[in-house]
Chain A
Amino acid sequence: MADKTIELSTRSEVKKIFETMEYGPAPEASNVAKAWLQQHENVLGHFINGEWYKPSNRKTYTTNSPATDEVLATTIQGEEEDINYAVKCAREAFKSWSTLAPHTRARYLYAIARNVQKHHRLLAVMESLDNGKSIRETRDCDIPLVARHFYHHAGWAQLMEDEMNGWKPVGVVGAVVPWNFPLMLLTWKVCPALAMGNTVVLKPATYTRLSALLFAEICHEAGLPPGVFNVVTGNGAFGSMLATHADVDKVAFTGSTPVGQTLRRLTAGSGKKLSLELGGKSPIIVMENADLDSTVEGIVDAIWFNQGQVCSAGSRLLVQENIYEDLISRLKERLGHFRLGHSLDKTIDMGPIVSESQLKTIQEYVDDARKEGADVFQAPVNNQVPSNGYYYPPTLITNVQTVSKVVREEIFGPVLVALPFRTAKEAQALGNNTNYGLAASVWSENLSTALELAVSIKAGAVWVNSHNMFDAAAGFGGYKESGFGRDGGKEGLFEYVRPSWEERPRPQAIEVDMKTFGANYGGSLMPAPGQGNLKQNGNAPLVDHTYKVYYGGAQKRPDGSYSRPVFSSTDPSSIIAYVSDSNRKDVRNAVEAAHKAAPGWGKRASHNRAQIVYYMAENLEMRRDEIAQRLMNFTGQSLESAYEEVDTSVQRLFYWGAYADKYGGTVQETTLYGCTVCIREPVGVIGIACPDENPLLGFVSLFAPAVIRANCVVIVPSEKYPIPALDLYQIFDTSDLPGGVVNILSGSRDHLTKYLTEHQHVDAMWYFGTVEGSKFVEFSSAENVKRTWVNYGINRNWSCSKEGQGEEFLYHATQCKNIWLPMGVTYAN
């Protein structure tokens, strides 16, 4: 028979294993990945303009495998001139890439997808070696998703003219991505960017540069033109240099919230687009009627996928009190057979942490919890792991509460905290009791319960009876301090385009003192009499009209009880009226009123919101003559143009009324068997500072898209000509608009903008004012990662339908939540 005889040692081994039935090592070979590195003599440069680029005299960074601390390769620490060169190449490539026929761009993306599949195993092994994540995950999750993203976006490239009509590419995209899914997350930026006709300069994370560089070479071999996709390596400061490079038009970032905030501040006032996909502390909500054994596996997927180094990791386990003990004991039993080991071992659940410093951070968090008196349960796994790697066992912390650091902060490791709750309502409150809003999962066999929770949790992705499912057809991204913008889906494309009519704003670089901007009440104009001649009407005084502030559905005296003069446009010395001069307390009150109104307004049927806006149009039309007359008087425009502004405002109300029930979302065509539903939810409470031009139309054009999409607004009308907007509150009152949905504060635009932007409970700020104000809003919004929309001091033509309405407004008025609903009961007959 045999030409091979088994060695004696193996013979006794079989017998021993037959008795013990233990698992053995099942290593994935790393020889091809290492051969590729050796082909480059284990020294990798940047990949710019379709070739390797190794400038001399650069510092280097040595990449290690977290599994064994073995040295893999040396990469270079880039310097500013490297960025300049890469951006220059990307800019040059943009000229031709952006003008290619959509079909041609589609072919390139398709070719990349094909080439990723051809080199699937090599990419999977490289990623596993470099990052420490298990080969099973890179093989079955990361790399298939990379290919899937390219296929999906090849489609968007093909369909751009039809599906993204009215939009054009942004230019050069600077992408900065983290180490937890090095290749997958860069794909999430590169795919939509290239599909929409942009070119990219990418900076991978310091710990994990290899797969990006390998991928760049693969793209080159797939025929991607030089300069379309460039990879540069360097440290954090180098990433900031890329973000702030004047010729980078858009910064796409995935990473930690603090770094995202820094990028927001660094790019403030530059006219660059920005999308941030940041941290999370996502809840797993388990209701009493859940399938508990399946939930346990779901928890494993939620928190121990990729060692818990997942921004959407389910790190807060919220369990209904009456099943809490049962679930926790099942979970502990599950951890009893958890396997930790070398990332290339095919028989592990979890690999090492990415780096020694990350490991230390995790240890500190858990030590901290122990000191607090929490119960820390760790799976008994440490004897299985290689001695030099950065391993941390899966950890479950109980006996903690909402005040604990481990409950509030993102740990970014395999650490789960568990808290009990009593009712679905309390689960919702606990779920939302966090600065973050990236993801959540809901476990219940009751559809009504699961759906209501899914809708009420403020997060960009909610998985029902599952966790951590991703697909190119569904956008991924956060609410609140988890960032803004989406990666994937049609919703993700908007991060890489701008309206066709618009040029990239390149505002003058100016210094703005963020402490003093708008800080001085009465700074722009003293709220006092005697600053001009009050217009009189013959001998008898006019019946005096008192313009108050308007919030919570009622006219209120301003907190400070000061009034500011409004001057005539034709005669600046002539005072037409006095209006209330609002201060920060009015902002506080108005925001409170808006939040009070928001839940009810959100629950109204869209039809009802539409009816109210149409009714406003009806009432505005009734007062057409009077309002046109006043517009003419205040702004000095001709009566004809005043009529036009009123008529366009009526039209615009109709336009937005129409959209009240036509932009609620879509069913996403993901790979899930079931439904992935994209709901376009309101952003929340939006602060709006209106432009001075078109005091009526500008106001209408901004508040209407916000409120029809169920937002509530605190809106500052034109500072110069506030009265046409203030006149509208009578119309609101007669149009059944619930109190608190639109709140109007007259006064100094920049003073009120300051307090709106600095208000932690204002979810977005739209600002149409000066260059300085725009920079201030973007800079200050970083504190709670508000969404912003600013004009960099550039006026738009509100009467033009392209500029004054359209999808851009809907984009700003909504945020996408994708709810994943797996389905199925049929497995046999």
Chain B
Amino acid sequence: MAYNPGINLDLEWVQKTAINLPAVNRRAATLPTKRTVKKAWQAAWLLRAVTCIDLTTLSGDDTFSNVQRLCYKAKHPIRDDLLEAMGMHDAGITVGAVCVYPSRVPDAVKSLKDAGKSYVPIASVATGFPAGQTPLATRIEEIKMAIEMGATEIDIVISRTKALHGDWQEIYDEVSACKKACGEGVHMKTILGTGDLGTLTNVYKASLVAMMAGSDFIKTSTGKEGVNATLPVGLVMVRAIRDYYHKTGYKVGFKPAGGIRSAKDACTWLALMKEELGNDWLNNQLFRIGASSLLTDIERQLYHYVTGRYAAAHQLPMA
């Protein structure tokens, strides 16, 4: 798993950023037309995407039963007969993690234990998710509690208020404090809330500051902003990851989240990672997709690959 110790805040580097939205949009629009995978390649890529999913439920009405269903699906994301047909039944295919609110972490711990066999990490959002508009002290406390309850990964949010004011030093300090609260054993993903940041230049700056402060992953969105994980935003963030890697040697992971629903989208995001960052970033150590309904569409595609027929929704176990 990615580990990024962070570096001192380099404001000069942050401030000289210039991102050209129309040019980014062009690259984002043409990338999916330049890369595609078909047949066995598509099946293999989709299975890889499955292993990168942070299977997520973040709702006010989450209870034990739907969290449990999610956790069981996390361990059996694709029907066994389909996996068998592709020769993948023994490949240990599970999703990358389940992702829940802190209060549901105990439910996830119990369910995953009950579901047996393989290990699936538990990610908990924290720090006043999704808005981050709570005092730092309670945010830090929330991280600690989630970890105590069994979370092994923490998804924090940055203060968009401070980002829009350009208070990068304060963001750096807060994210550093969160990282300290997580400690070395728990991986920290930092959600930038890119839909709130106003410009792609801010997205790039926020990416850099989050990485400098020690984020192991940077993540696009909470799923609650008006605009979530779009390719242009993703492109800017992975370019920041590449720059940071070249300057520091630390590999930071990337997690697009929100709005990724189709199998084709999943392949496009994988292609983006492969093109911009290389094969090292094509696994769940450095790449996650935050999603809930995506898994179903992938399973449908794999069903078609195996059988040559399009599946009815009721043929696939719901999450």
User: Considering only CB atoms, which chain B residue lies closest to A6 in the complex?
Assistant: B85
**Is B8 positioned at the interface, with any CB of A under 8 Å from its CB?**
no
B86 and A827 within 8 A (CB) = no
**Is B274 positioned at the interface, with any CB of A under 8 Å from its CB?**
yes
| CB interface residues, A 307-351, toward B, < 8 Å | 337, 339, 346-349
Q: How far is the CB of B266 from chain A (nearest CB, A)?
A: 13
Q: How far is the CB of B128 from chain A (nearest CB, A)?
A: 19
B86 and A6 within 8 A (CB) = yes
A contact residues around B306 at 8 Å (CB):
2, 4, 6
Main secondary structure of the interface of B (DSSP, over half): helix
Main secondary structure of the interface of A (DSSP, over half): loop
How many residues from B make CB contacts under 8 Å with A? 56
Pick from A24, A348, A674: contact of B41, CB under 8 Å: A24
Q: How far is the CB of A5 from chain B (nearest CB, A)?
A: 7
> Can you list, as one digit per residue, whether each of A4-29 has a CB less than 8 Å from chain B (1) or not (0)?
11101011111111100111111000
B308 and A294 within 8 A (CB) = no
Residues in chain B within 8 A of chain A (CB atoms): 18-27, 30, 33-41, 43-45, 47-48, 81, 85-88, 91, 194-200, 225-227, 230, 232-233, 239, 270, 274-275, 278-279, 282, 305-309
B20 and A14 within 8 A (CB) = no
Taken together as a complex, chains A and B put the C-alpha atoms of A140 and B29 apart, in Å, by: 11
Q: How far is the CB of A19 from chain B (nearest CB, A)?
A: 8
A contact residues around B275 at 8 Å (CB):
337
Taken together as a complex, chains A and B put the C-alpha atoms of A769 and B20 apart, in Å, by: 54
Pick from B232, B239, B305: contact of A827, CB under 8 Å: B232
B20 and A337 within 8 A (CB) = no
B274 and A347 within 8 A (CB) = no
Q: How far is the CB of B141 from chain A (nearest CB, A)?
A: 29
Looking at the complex, which of A196-204, A245-253, A285-293 is the stretch in contact with chain B? A285-293
Pick from A18, A293, A348, A445: contact of B48, CB under 8 Å: A18
**Is A825 positioned at the interface, with any CB of B under 8 Å from its CB?**
yes
A828 and B48 within 8 A (CB) = no
| CB interface residues, A 777-829, toward B, < 8 Å | 822-829
| CB interface residues, A 253-302, toward B, < 8 Å | 289-291, 293-295, 297-298, 301
B21 and A825 within 8 A (CB) = yes
B contact residues around A24 at 8 Å (CB):
37-41
A13 and B25 within 8 A (CB) = no
B contact residues around A2 at 8 Å (CB):
85, 306-309
Taken together as a complex, chains A and B put the C-alpha atoms of A822 and B19 apart, in Å, by: 13
User: Considering only CB atoms, which chain A residue lies closest to B271 in the complex?
Assistant: A23
B227 and A11 within 8 A (CB) = no
B37 and A26 within 8 A (CB) = yes
> Which of B34, B47, B81, B196 has the largest count of A CB atoms less than 10 A from its CB?
B34
User: Considering only CB atoms, which chain A residue lies closest to B315 in the complex?
Assistant: A1
Q: How far is the CB of B251 from chain A (nearest CB, A)?
A: 15
B38 and A829 within 8 A (CB) = no
B88 and A291 within 8 A (CB) = no
B34 and A347 within 8 A (CB) = yes
**Is A465 positioned at the interface, with any CB of B under 8 Å from its CB?**
yes
What are 19 pairs between A and B in contact, CB < 8 Å?
Answer: A1-B81, A2-B309, A6-B85, A16-B44, A17-B45, A18-B47, A21-B270, A23-B37, A136-B34, A290-B18, A297-B26, A297-B27, A337-B278, A339-B34, A349-B34, A465-B23, A827-B199, A828-B225, A829-B197
**Is A466 positioned at the interface, with any CB of B under 8 Å from its CB?**
yes
> Can you list, as one digit per residue, whether each of A431-445 has a CB less than 8 Å from chain B (1) or not (0)?
000000000000001
**Is A513 positioned at the interface, with any CB of B under 8 Å from its CB?**
no
B36 and A347 within 8 A (CB) = yes
| Given known A-B contacts A15-B87, A15-B91, A294 and B274 have beta carbons under 8 A apart | no
